[in-house]
Structure 1
Amino acid sequence: MTDTRAEVVLNADKIDLVRERRTLLDRVSLTVLAGEHWALIGPNGAGKSTLLGVLGAYTHPTRGTAEILGHRLGRVNVHDLRALIGQVNPRHPLESARTVREIVLTGATGTIELVPRWTPSADELRRADELIALMGLTARAEARWPHLSQGERGRALIARALMPDPRLLLLDEPATGLDLAARERLLAALDELRDSRPGLTSVLVTHHLEELPTSTSHALLLREGRVLAAGPADEVITTELVSACFDHPVTIARANGRWTATAG
């Protein structure tokens, strides 16, 4: 029987990204295996979202190689590749007042808005409702985007990203702007998702350790575009390494699977 956890889902090898003579990523290397859940952690401007853009096939590195789901950037149709990746951006550019169910269904077509004259199949409708339930939004399925809380929007976008049944889920600061209760509901939904889909691989960007789900297995600390440390979460998210990453003394603690950082 094949061990799917040994499958390489992401591999970045010494990638640089230079824009307008500014180095945004500097010889970044990262290998992510199937079923792992990585956190990209670092201060503002460290290059976290930039790296996520490369891993999501939206940005090409200036130097080095990036392989995503077995396809090397520069040798693959990126539009086809993006269809295999679930991506969650809290700044989702939706302009119309769509319902939660309609928003989730756009994940089947990979579009922001519903495609004109497109009719979802019975299987797509059933899958959308299953994902809405998984994210705890069944009672809000007919609620429209302007009337959703920030937390509800985040969970709706995760359901949308899961519509094509991706092997890789990328989340760019999904807890941005959430209050405590909304953040905890979002993290609980992520943990439940990872329990129900053990083959799913994810990468989550944050600069707040309190926003990490308990299911986080690995972490990469990024500072000024360079990798400070990468590996199993308990070996990377330490007082010494996080203090160095943020250039500020912090004390790291972990209880019940969750991390906290205290300054000083």
Structure 2
Amino acid sequence: MTPAVEFRGIEVRFGRTRALAPLDLTVARGETLAMLGPSGSGKSTALKALAGFVRPSAGRVLLDGRDVTDLPPHRRGLGVVVQSYALFPHMRVDGNVAFGLRAHGVSKSDTTRRVGEVLDLVGMGQYARRYPRELSGGQQQRVALARALAIRPRVLLLDEPLSALDAALREDMVAELLRLRAELPDTTLVYVTHDQGEALALADRIALMRDSRLVETGPCEQLYRRPATEFAASFLGAANLIPVELIRAEGDRLVTVRLGGRELAAEPTGAIADGQAVALGVRPHRVEVRAAGSPDALPALVRGVRWRGSGYRVDLELRHDGSEIRAEVSGVDGLPGVGEPVGVSIPDGCPLVGIGAGT
């Protein structure tokens, strides 16, 4: 089946600055792809090239197999939602939502009907006669979504749509977007964010960006549980990267590593070159803090303890090599103090990633 979206070698330069390295990426029809990465990673630039707001320096953009690289934004048939809402302050809610329909020459009767439909879809039907200034941030973002959906786009682009909202409103809007996904199964979503929680909650697949280039892509659970690169392991889920020594391979999916004199089974997640340094990617919640001297535990010192609301973050230093790692501890019983010796237990089956290559 023809992909809904194709980036074919899309590169963006501003003078001597390369904002996006050549990007090859496809998005299937009905799929939600999250482009995830830190600021300056190139994710928003890629979205702007797709929308037609930025002219690629090289490469082609295809929508449903049709080359749209040379088409202006209004002729691409895309819905776009940005973080600043971009509502017209002098227009009421219904006027904002109707704007794109009128620009496409939709009749007055059909415009009125479709405005009502999409406002009801996003739960804003009763606010049709209000002005943007009379709405909360979350309500304005719902109106922006309604305006983008009114033209019935095959592809909906969302550029950091929730970043201007507070934490509670973001949770509400994530739930709203999940509901919309269920009600619009044929609509393709390309969602740009730096928030991994949003990406994991909403997307079918994640394209992880760094330094203007695509680092890794795959289904959300795969990238979280089996990251193939050092950057993916540390950025997505903040895994500890603990240096280990590769001892032996036992088939394609299991290797034995040595950590502080102890042997552990690990799962390789990408190609590892001979002699390459390797590390275990261990999520903080999988690090178990025990009493000092516990059997099969690595000696460590507590370097910091921070309350995180749902539990505590414990910063640790492994005694055998000085590596610094983090643990998440939910309870307060026996919580160690700074400077105290403890034991650290690392489970078998953690992903093994190569250090310094493909990061």
State the shift of 1:52 in Å: 0.2
State the shift of 1:96 in Å: 2.9
Counterpart-to-counterpart distance in 1, 2:103 and 2:209: 30
Cα distance per residue 1:155-181 (max 9 Å; x no partner): 111100011111000000110121233
One-letter amino acid matched to 1:81:
R
Equivalent position of 1:131 in the other structure: 118
Equivalent position of 1:186 in the other structure: 173
Counterpart-to-counterpart distance in 2, 1:121 and 1:173: 32
- In structure 2, relative to structure 1, the CA distance for the partners of 1:48 and 1:149 (3 Å cut) is same
User: Which one has the bigger strand percentage?
Assistant: 2
Counterpart-to-counterpart distance in 2, 1:56 and 1:77: 10
Counterpart-to-counterpart distance in 1, 2:213 and 2:200: 24
Contact in 1 for aligned 2:44/2:159 (Cα 8 Å):
yes
Counterpart-to-counterpart distance in 2, 1:213 and 1:137: 27
Equivalent position of 1:259 in the other structure: none
For 1:181-220, what aligned pairs fall within 5 Å after superposition?
181-212=168-199, 214-220=201-207
For 1:90-239, what aligned pairs fall within 5 Å after superposition?
90-110=83-103, 121-212=108-199, 214-238=201-225
Greater shift, 242-251 or 173-182, is seen at: 242-251
Counterpart-to-counterpart distance in 1, 2:165 and 2:225: 25
Equivalent position of 2:56 in the other structure: 61
Classify the secondary structure of the residue corresponding to 1:159: helix
Equivalent position of 2:71 in the other structure: 77
State the shift of 1:212 in Å: 3.3
Contact in 2 for aligned 1:9/1:34 (Cα 8 Å):
yes
Contact in 2 for aligned 1:243/1:250 (Cα 8 Å):
no
Equivalent position of 1:20 in the other structure: 15
Classify the secondary structure of the residue corresponding to 2:4: strand
Counterpart-to-counterpart distance in 2, 1:78 and 1:166: 16
Counterpart-to-counterpart distance in 1, 2:226 and 2:48: 28
Counterpart-to-counterpart distance in 1, 2:222 and 2:143: 33
One-letter amino acid matched to 1:226:
R
> Which structure has more RCO (C-alpha within 8 Å, separation ≥ 6)?
1
- In structure 2, relative to structure 1, the CA distance for the partners of 1:106 and 1:213 (3 Å cut) is farther
One-letter amino acid matched to 1:91:
S
For 1:244-255, what aligned pairs fall within 5 Å after superposition?
244-245=231-232, 250-251=238-239
State the shift of 1:99 in Å: 1.8
Counterpart-to-counterpart distance in 2, 1:134 and 1:213: 24
Counterpart-to-counterpart distance in 2, 1:62 and 1:239: 34
State the shift of 1:93 in Å: 3.9
TM-score by structure 1 length? 0.82
Whose radius of gyration is greater, 1 or 2? 2
Equivalent position of 2:41 in the other structure: 46
One-letter amino acid matched to 1:179:
D
Question: How much identity, in percent, do the aligned residues show?
Answer: 30
Gaps of 5+ in 2: 240-282, 285-312, 314-324, 327-359
Contact in 1 for aligned 2:39/2:194 (Cα 8 Å):
yes
One-letter amino acid matched to 1:46:
S
State the shift of 1:51 in Å: 0.4
Equivalent position of 1:258 in the other structure: none
One-letter amino acid matched to 1:20:
G
Cα distance per residue 1:40-59 (max 9 Å; x no partner): 00001111110001111222
Counterpart-to-counterpart distance in 2, 1:31 and 1:119: 31
Counterpart-to-counterpart distance in 2, 1:241 and 1:213: 17
State the shift of 1:67 in Å: 1.3
User: Which one has the bigger helix percentage?
Assistant: 1
TM-score by structure 2 length? 0.61
